[in-house]
Amino acid sequence: MITLYGIKNCDTVKKAIKWLEANDIAHQLYDFKTQPLTAELLTDFINQSDWSLLLNKRSTTFRNLPDEIKNNLTDEVIFASVLEQPTLLKRPLLPLNGELNLGFKVDQYQTLFANK
């Protein structure tokens, strides 16, 4: 069973779940609204990607950050901010085969699960 990380009311997460269900792929959602994002989990995400890809700068959460945070995006500042507000991450996050896949696109998932 795979784990998809995100929030259940996110439209992109909903599309990914719908695709997984339609393709009979066993999955579970790790919902950041109901389950905490731990430092260990966030570290795993960072080790599989980098901040420039992980951080959703178009999100309302990011736009609402104080300017002193947005203008000082060091690794430490981003890490603490994301732990406090996991919705700063792009969604969904799908760790699979040692890679962290960000977002949802039908062709991307078809390729990822071609040999399911």
User: Nearest to residue 8, comparing CAs of 31, 27, 28?
Assistant: 31
Question: Catalytic residue positions?
Answer: 10
What pTM value is reported for the model?
Answer: 0.91
Query: CA-CA distance, 82 to 63, in Å (whole number)?
Result: 13
Whether 101 shows a pLDDT value over 90: the answer reads yes
Backbone phi and psi for residue 67, each to the nearest 5 degrees, phi listed first: -60, -35
pLDDT of residue 97: 86
pLDDT of residue 33: 92
In the predicted model, what is the mean pLDDT of residues 96-105? 93
Domains and CATH numbers, the chain: 2-112 (3.40.30.10)
How many CB atoms are located within 10 Å of the residue 39 CB? 11
